[in-house]
Structure 1
Amino acid sequence: MRERSKQWQRKIRSNKWWVIGAIATPALIGMVWWLWLLSDRRLQPDGDRLSHNESATLAHPHRETLISGMGVIVMVAGGVFLLLNFRRANRNTKTADLSGADLSGADLINANLSGADLSGADLSGADLINANLSGAELCGADLINANLSGADLSGANLSGADLINANLSGANLSGANLRYANLSGVNLRYANLSSANLKYANLSDADLNCTLLSDANLSDANLSGALLFFVNSREVQNLEPLQLQAQHKPFLCNVALPSYSHQPKVNPNRDCDRIPQLLSVRYNISLEEAQGIVNEARQHRWD
């Protein structure tokens, strides 16, 4: 599987080199024409020493203009050729059809999959660190245990996608569609979920430590057992008190809650005494270090 993904990446790189060749060729031809004309003018002999052929050449000054015009035509044609090939290469990349592809365990670090169709693809366990998946179609994709740390998923369609235990720490999910997505146990630490659609999403046991949630739609999202630590959720849409008072309640510590979530009143620091133990286990750090993180976070006052 890793070999197939590498071959696919090499194909993309070869297309890029083809485009670079298309750029360099007409530019080089134009430069040669220009240098030839320049040297020809500088090396012109004195009028008294002109031969018969040279005199004939000077008798037709329009020839030099014609040659100069040809150089311009070559450069313009090269520019047009470049533009057309760049647009075609760009279009082919954005419309890459990988729907249903088996990319499980693939090495796709820093891969450019912007706008690609990966609907229903198997990306379980794939390494997508810092990958560009902006605007990608990932509806129903299998991303279980995938590493998407630092990936760009802005505007991506992840509706119904399975992201159980995936690593999305520091990922950009702004404006992403995560409707009905399974984000159980996912790591969303420092992730950007602003304006994301999380309606009916399963966020049970998810790590939402320092996650950006401004304008995110959490209507009917399952937050049972989720870690809500040092999070400003005042601008979150449709976060109802029932979601914070479920039988398996989310853990709250230093959370800025929207005003409507205080009815019935919810204590935004109700679990601060339990958070150090959770952080110690999740981040494999000492209990003392985890306690220091909590103490520092609690000193912050939301405006």
Structure 2
Amino acid sequence: MWKRFKQPQSQPKPYITWIVGAIATPVAMVVMWSLWQLPERKLPSESARPTEHETVTPIQPYHTTPVSHIGAIAAVIGGLSLLFKYRLAAENDAIVNLSEADFCGANLSGADLCGANLSGANLNGADLCGADLSGANLNGADLNGADLCGANLSRANLNGADLISANLNGTNLSDASLRYANLSGADCRYANLSGADFRQANLSEADLNCTLLSRANFSDTNLSNALLFFTNLRDVLNLEPFQLETQPSPLLCHVALPSYGQQPDLNPNRACDRIPQLLSTRYRISLEEAQWMVNEARQHHWD
């Protein structure tokens, strides 16, 4: 699948021959014209030879490069440069433009897709662990159940993308746009979500354990039943109290709440008694280890 991905996705356009011909024809004509304009060398005639009584003043030889030669050289270089740039652009378009492509279940781990156009692409269940998708266009892409562990999605466009149950553990989503995206049940543990735009996004039942959320925009974001354990919400934007009180309400344990003008009656540790069992089930660890994790986290003092 990876070898197939690296190959161009489209066949060469039939009009490439016309473009090459359009460049080559004037270049050839200029070269031929310049050669035709070369000065002819003629032997001096008998009448032009000096007599024995005439004095001949020697003339120092000098060499000149006809202007037509310079023009021909410039035309050749310009034509080749234009042809090279066109071929390079065509190759880049064939690789980078992957909109609507079908990579369902594909192994793209570590792939360099920086700035690629993957809008509407099918990446359902794909392995994109460690891939570079910074600045990529994933608008409306299907990433349901995809593994994006440790991937770089900074500044990526994920508006309207389907990220249900996606693995975003340790993923860099800083300054990414996720408006109307569906991240229901996504694993966002230790992810960098700084500056991410979650307006109207669905984060219900998402795991936001130990995530970086500075400057993240949560305007009208659905956080119902989301796991907010050991999470700093002080610097998030547009997170209203009703979003933390809606039913089923987010699971809060050792959370630094935002500063509101009128402080709501919210307990940042209201679900700490339920968290150990939840962590044990989700992370497949012993209940004792999960309880130890909760106890250790609660020893931390938010600055």
Give the TM-score taking structure 1 as reference length: 0.72
Aligned amino acid, residue 258 of structure 2: P
Q: Note the alpha carbon deviations across 1:15-39, whole angstroms, 9 max, x for none.
A: xxxxxxxxxxxxxxxxxxxxxxxxx
Aligned-residue offset at 1:261: 8.1
The within-5 A match list for 1:167-178 is 167-178=167-178
Preserved contact between residue 93 and residue 113 of structure 1 (Cα < 8 Å)? no
User: Separation in 2 of the partners of 1:260 and 1:93?
Assistant: 49
Preserved contact between residue 94 and residue 114 of structure 1 (Cα < 8 Å)? no
- Identify unmatched segments of 5+ residues in structure 1: 13-76
Q: 1:301 to 1:141 in 2, by over 3 A?
A: same
Preserved contact between residue 7 and residue 95 of structure 2 (Cα < 8 Å)? no
Aligned-residue offset at 1:264: 1.9
Aligned-residue offset at 1:231: 0.7
Aligned-residue offset at 1:6: 2.7
User: Separation in 1 of the partners of 2:226 and 2:8?
Assistant: 42
The within-5 A match list for 1:1-303 is 3=1, 5-9=2-6, 88=88, 92=92, 96-260=96-260, 263-303=263-303
Preserved contact between residue 173 and residue 194 of structure 1 (Cα < 8 Å)? yes
User: Separation in 1 of the partners of 2:94 and 2:148?
Assistant: 20
Aligned amino acid, residue 221 of structure 1: T
Aligned-residue offset at 1:233: 0.9
Aligned-residue offset at 1:94: 10
Aligned-residue offset at 1:263: 3.0
Q: How many residues align?
A: 231
Preserved contact between residue 8 and residue 91 of structure 2 (Cα < 8 Å)? no
Aligned Cα RMSD in Å?
2.4
User: Separation in 1 of the partners of 2:208 and 2:162?
Assistant: 18
User: Separation in 2 of the partners of 1:90 and 1:279?
Assistant: 50
Q: Note the alpha carbon deviations across 1:78-120, whole angstroms, 9 max, x for none.
A: xxx9xx88x9489927971110011100000000001000000
When you count helix as a share of all residues, which structure comes out higher?
A: 1
User: Separation in 2 of the partners of 1:196 and 1:296?
Assistant: 28
Aligned-residue offset at 1:209: 0.3
Q: 1:89 to 1:276 in 2, by over 3 A?
A: farther
Aligned amino acid, residue 133 of structure 1: L
Aligned amino acid, residue 183 of structure 1: L
Aligned amino acid, residue 106 of structure 1: A
Aligned residue for 2:208, secondary structure, equals strand
Aligned-residue offset at 1:7: 1.9
Q: Note the alpha carbon deviations across 1:150-176, whole angstroms, 9 max, x for none.
A: 000000000000000000000000000
User: Separation in 2 of the partners of 1:285 and 1:220?
Assistant: 34
- Identify unmatched segments of 5+ residues in structure 2: 10-76
Preserved contact between residue 153 and residue 174 of structure 1 (Cα < 8 Å)? yes
Q: 1:248 to 1:89 in 2, by over 3 A?
A: same
User: Separation in 2 of the partners of 1:249 and 1:262?
Assistant: 20
Preserved contact between residue 157 and residue 178 of structure 2 (Cα < 8 Å)? yes
Aligned amino acid, residue 243 of structure 2: Q
Preserved contact between residue 94 and residue 113 of structure 1 (Cα < 8 Å)? no
Aligned residue for 2:288, secondary structure, equals helix
Aligned residue for 1:135, secondary structure, equals coil
Aligned amino acid, residue 215 of structure 1: R
User: Separation in 2 of the partners of 1:236 and 1:94?
Assistant: 40
Give the TM-score taking structure 2 as reference length: 0.72
Q: 1:238 to 1:88 in 2, by over 3 A?
A: same
Preserved contact between residue 191 and residue 212 of structure 2 (Cα < 8 Å)? yes
Preserved contact between residue 149 and residue 170 of structure 1 (Cα < 8 Å)? yes
CA radius of gyration, larger in: 2
Aligned amino acid, residue 203 of structure 2: L
Aligned-residue offset at 1:10: 6.1
User: Separation in 2 of the partners of 1:300 and 1:97?
Assistant: 47
Aligned residue for 2:282, secondary structure, equals helix
Aligned amino acid, residue 145 of structure 1: G
Equivalent residue for 1:19?
none
Preserved contact between residue 107 and residue 126 of structure 1 (Cα < 8 Å)? yes
